[in-house]
Amino acid sequence: MDRISNMARKLYRLLFPVDPVGVRVERGLVVGKNFSMLDGVIIDYAHTWHITIGDDVTLAPRVHILAHDASTKRYLGYTRIAKVRIGNRVFIGAGSIILPGVTIGDDVVVGAGSVVTRDVPAGHVAAGNPARVLCTIDEFLSRRRREMESSPLFGEEYTVDSGVTAAMKQEMNRRMSDGVGYIV
């Protein structure tokens, strides 16, 4: 039954494609160039006009961006709302939640699973629940560059879109047996 319902959803999407970003832009979302939103991302549909996303931003799978907090509705009769601003060249990791009123500066990485409750200054890496600043982006990238020097590197031919073969997958796992690798 699940297989049939999955097939029906895929067929529906093929026949009736929806541009989730386009719909939100029509509602007031501001999005810069080179925006990438992966599967399962939720951008507050009821309050999109309070959200601004800069250039070269990637939202990994299941990121939530909220511009409202309805926890006050029952008690106060009003829902709390606030702007969310995401700068340029920002990566927000899978499963992260960005709460109302948060500003994320330029050149920021937010680690997977983070709950961002306060501003993240430009040029930093933040992670955790609640998210806290861990280091500068330069420190983070320096560590990763050093790691790359002793890690296997894989080209585009090793990606699903380029038709990675079963043998190539095995090779990747063998070469990464002692740690991590990097792929284009």
Concerning whether 47 is annotated as a catalytic residue, the answer is: no
pTM for this entry: 0.85
CA 111 to CA 165: how far, in whole Å?
Answer: 30
Cβ-contact 95, 113 below 8 angstroms: yes
Chain position carrying tokens 């040029």: 123
Residue spans of the domains in the chain: they are 20-149, 151-184
DSSP state of 3: H
For residue 75, the model assigns a pLDDT of 97
Is CATH 3.40.50.720 what the domain over 20-149 is classified as, yes or no? Answer: no
CA 71 to chain centre: 25
* pLDDT tens digits, 66-108: 999 999 999 999 999 999 999 999 999 999 999 999 999 999 9
For residue 1, the model assigns a pLDDT of 52
* pLDDT tens digits, 17-73: 567 788 888 888 999 999 999 999 999 999 999 999 999 999 999 999 999 999 999
CA 163 to CA 159: how far, in whole Å?
Answer: 6
Q: What is the mean pLDDT of the chain?
A: 93
CA 49 to chain centre: 19
Q: How many other β-carbons are positioned within 10 Å of the β-carbon of residue 88?
A: 17
Of the candidates 50, 64, 68, 124, the residue annotated as catalytic is 68
- Whether 11 shows a pLDDT value over 60: the answer reads yes
- Name the nearest CA neighbour of 101 among 44, 32, 25: 44
Write the burial class of residue 16 (CB in 10 Å: 0-12 exposed, 13-18 middle, 19+ buried): exposed
CA 55 to CA 18: how far, in whole Å?
Answer: 22
